[in-house]
Amino acid sequence: MHCPVRFAPFPPERIVGQNEFGIWICDGFPVSAGHSLIIPKRHVGSFFEVSPAEREGLLELLDQAKAAVDAAHRPDGYNIGINDGAAAGQTVPHLHLHLIPRFLSDVADPRGGVRWVIPEKADYWSGR
């Protein structure tokens, strides 16, 4: 599953999977092997703006992407993320879900996962 892609536009060869509500592509700047994006077809900026049917369709694509990444790369875990709004780091003003495969030893200490978006508050377990 090698996908040398960028964010947009999406020629057919970039699209790994799709349904009525969204498309699945491989991230153009992957942080790990199999890093995928799930993107709604309707232009919408926030996850909180999608309809229940769109949300279900996007999560169906997320499941498909996970199954394919499991088969191709056998990761040990996943981070699933959405940067929703500029304060959350969103740089592309179109909703997209990241499926980021994680592997044992890809970082020295993965505890806290997505909590590291605010590093000073991430470590709640050590008593620092």
Short-list 34, 33, 35, 36, CA closest to 23: 36
User: Beta-carbon neighbour count of residue 125 at 10 Å?
Assistant: 8
Place of tokens 């499941």: 63
**What pTM, to 2 d.p., does this model score?**
0.88
Q: Which domains does the chain have, with CATH numbers?
A: 12-122 (3.30.428.10)
Task: Give the pLDDT confidence score for residue 8 in this predicted structure.
Answer: 57
What are 55-76's pLDDT values in tens digits? Answer: 999 999 999 999 999 999 999 9
Which of these is catalytic: 35, 73, 96, 98? 96
pLDDT band, very low/low/confident/very high, at 1 (cuts 50, 70, 90): very low
Verify whether residue 96 is a known catalytic residue: yes
Q: Please determine, for residue 77, whether its predicted confidence score (pLDDT) is greater than 90.
A: yes
